[in-house]
Chain A
């Protein structure tokens, strides 16, 4: 069993930054990540792609990842890509599989920098081949230089669809149309938060620039789209949509990309018993953290978007801050020195976070995301429909764990990552109580589907047969 001072899970902006700071303070650091190269999702494949033609069309924010990855590589942290963390037990014992070999790593402190995932936004037909998330399409562009063959339909809200469309157009791809699902009146609701956001003016201007580019390119935009449906057998053939004022259309489509914002990856902190709280504005759970990013569990930190969605710059800052505190707790750094070094990081972080109330309000998901029609499959793994969940409500006031037991929703390999919030919201509506009170699935290990053979290999006894 290997033993380290600090285990960092995830090699995106937060994990890489944490590793750099932890190493500067003399900690013995191991970074594990399920991706094959550093960068996380935002800087996917940055080391090999940033300097190429493809890198140029991905933009400056992407290129910035190259320096971060280089600093991380030079930090002296041990880095093990392609590693799946499937359980952490208190103490800490991390169970990891890499190249089909399972092992146990002992660590004195843990920084979870596992980032975010796109918010599951079920609609009829979302399981058909040809429906992908916008994030997925962007990963295909970064990792494989791959774009939709035919003009693509994009439905969603938030900055990512805008960014992806500008990248796609630059790459020579075509957009059949953008179905903007941002509801009416969101800008007015968000405006009061604008003064606070002005500190991050650059990002706001960038967003306006993307919109202008789409307009110049003549991308058809349909505003206030409320409902979408992918139609087809075996793959998407058509896309049906309906706007808030009732305008309906059916268009032919081969690829439909969807995006309704991102939510923190909460399975790892939940597995460690870290306290989480419901965020109304982001409509998700976020870990309860102190000003250093330490969770309710001693020596467990959460940094990056996993601590609450705030983007790559905030993620790096949070990574540095968490690592400073880890160094203090492991006796390598004085409290005063840590405070001093955290101060400028914290004021930068404050500026990044100031933009969030504006963005979160502007891009708060449309209500239909949480109230899919009855025929919609909500659990992709076990193919459980919204109707089946609603039917169960007749049985007292079930919570997510009872729904799981009786319908198998959440029992598949994704461990509820794609249906957890939908179940919470459907129950909240049906039982007329706030989602935060309904709660979330209990996370049952393993976090990733390890094989019986890999687990068996951890048993120390001699072979019997």
Chain B
């Protein structure tokens, strides 16, 4: 079958793939997104959709702050509000002895010139989250952080992509990559074939495997973070709450369900594209939730799941050009906190493809840092 020609082939129909495709299409590029299952099948559909600058790795802070600014006007970027609300993100110290770490973080940020992270005391914490157990001592907060709705976000990015002329092909798994002149020929299941000078690797948990097809051996692990959603409740809390020393992230979604995560790990079978919940482990999350919010003891769990995504050694993503393959750009390894970065990473990839570089600070995201030196030629 003769290949279909595009300017850019994006591999991976998660939010990062869609965001890159959207920015590129708006810059006039003809873009195809190839998705092996369906848009948002894994991490993007399984995320808690926290929109958080709080506690970010210092390498991520500049782009994360820019992303935050984009989230606050997301309805102007994509077709839909993505269910975004800025009710703040709070990192709670239950006990006094946990406060110094938070104070030190706040001090570090202040010295670097960042003002968004702020210490609050017990009274302010109680005022902001009355449902929180009274034993909690204080917290670090970013008041302009928030959360979105993952499915509304997926729908908005998809609609905008299609409106911008992006071709999205689902059920299209990549099988072979070939170099053909200045183009990359991407052969997929069902004898479909796509040709473009530029490839964006946004393949999530499968991105390491894909990178190796381009000669980039990037060390990559994976996560299978578990989540709980409950029955619908009357409004209980507005901010997203996490806790020092415990695997807990706790929020209430717009329709009233509690969404409880925090990075507890299930298991995954990448080849089978299946993930599994481990209830013995998940019990720790339920324990943390009921310790911190005693009123939720009798709340019923409606469902739980584990989402699969790539994890890097330093928990910072890989965003940048391939050192070995011309025209190939990576955007993966978000290690459980990529949702907030979605709008800005698409813009970065667009810069790299269209302008050949970016003024944004992405030096910490180079793929080379995770590659053995002989390969990082």
Contact = CB atoms under 8 A, between A and B. Distances in A.
A and B touch in the complex (CB under 8 A): yes
Interface of A: 87, 89, 93, 95, 104, 395-399, 402, 405-406, 408, 411-413, 415, 444-446, 449-453, 455-459, 461, 463-465
A328 B133 CA distance: 53
B38 A459 contact: no
Contacts of B231: 413, 449
Nearest to B276: A89
Given A405-B40, A405-B45, A459-B283, A444 B303 contact: yes
22 contacts: A87-B279, A104-B280, A397-B170, A405-B40, A405-B154, A406-B155, A413-B231, A413-B300, A444-B305, A445-B279, A445-B303, A446-B301, A450-B300, A451-B299, A452-B228, A452-B230, A452-B296, A453-B296, A455-B279, A456-B283, A456-B291, A458-B280
B153 to A, nearest CB: 11
A93 B281 CA distance: 13
Given A413-B302, A451-B301, A455-B301, A406 B151 contact: yes
Interface string B202-243: 000000000000000000000000001111000000000000
Contact of B298 (A406, A412, A451, A458): A451
Contacts of B151: 405-406
Contacts of A451: 297-301
Nearest to B40: A405
Nearest to B169: A396
B301 A402 contact: no
Contacts of B133: 465
A388 to B, nearest CB: 13
B303 A452 contact: no
Contacts of A444: 277, 303-305
A265 to B, nearest CB: 18
Contact of B170 (A396, A415, A445): A396
B286 interface: yes
Given A456-B283, A459-B284, A449 B304 contact: no
A459 B303 contact: no
A220 B232 CA distance: 44
Interface of B: 38, 40, 45, 94, 133, 135, 151, 154-155, 158, 168, 170, 228-231, 255, 260, 276-280, 282-284, 286-287, 289-291, 296-305
A93 B284 CA distance: 17
Given A402-B38, A405-B151, A413-B231, A456 B302 contact: no
Contacts of A415: 302-303
Contact of A411 (B158, B277, B282, B303): B303
Contact of A464 (B154, B277, B291): B291
Contacts of B228: 452
A270 to B, nearest CB: 12
A297 B221 CA distance: 28
Contacts of A396: 38, 168, 170
Contacts, number: 103
B305 A455 contact: no
B38 A411 contact: no
Nearest to B289: A452
A96 to B, nearest CB: 11
Contacts of B304: 444-446
B301 A449 contact: yes
B279 A89 contact: yes
Nearest to B293: A452
Contact of A456 (B40, B135, B289): B289
A456 B290 contact: yes
A15 to B, nearest CB: 23
A395 B39 CA distance: 11
A102 B276 CA distance: 20
Given A396-B170, A464-B94, A450 B287 contact: no
A455 B228 CA distance: 11
Contacts of B303: 411, 415, 444-446
A377 B374 CA distance: 61
Given A89-B276, A411-B229, A444-B303, 7 more contacts: A87-B279, A89-B279, A93-B280, A449-B301, A455-B286, A455-B301, A457-B283
Nearest to A406: B151
- 10 shortest interchain CB distances as A-B pairs: A453-B297, A449-B300, A455-B286, A459-B287, A444-B303, A456-B286, A458-B283, A459-B283, A456-B287, A456-B290
Contacts of B282: 455
Given A453-B297, A465-B94, A95 B286 contact: no
Residue from B255, B290, B298, B299 whose CB has the most chain A CB atoms within 10 Å? B290
Given A398-B38, A456-B286, A465 B298 contact: no
A220 B39 CA distance: 53
Contact of B301 (A398, A406, A452): A452
A395 B158 CA distance: 10
A457 B291 CA distance: 11
Contacts of B168: 396
A402 B135 CA distance: 41
Nearest to A415: B303
B280 A452 contact: no
A261 to B, nearest CB: 28
Nearest to A414: B302
Contacts of A459: 283-284, 286-287
A451 B302 CA distance: 9
B18 to A, nearest CB: 14
A89 B296 CA distance: 25
A172 to B, nearest CB: 40
Nearest to A450: B301
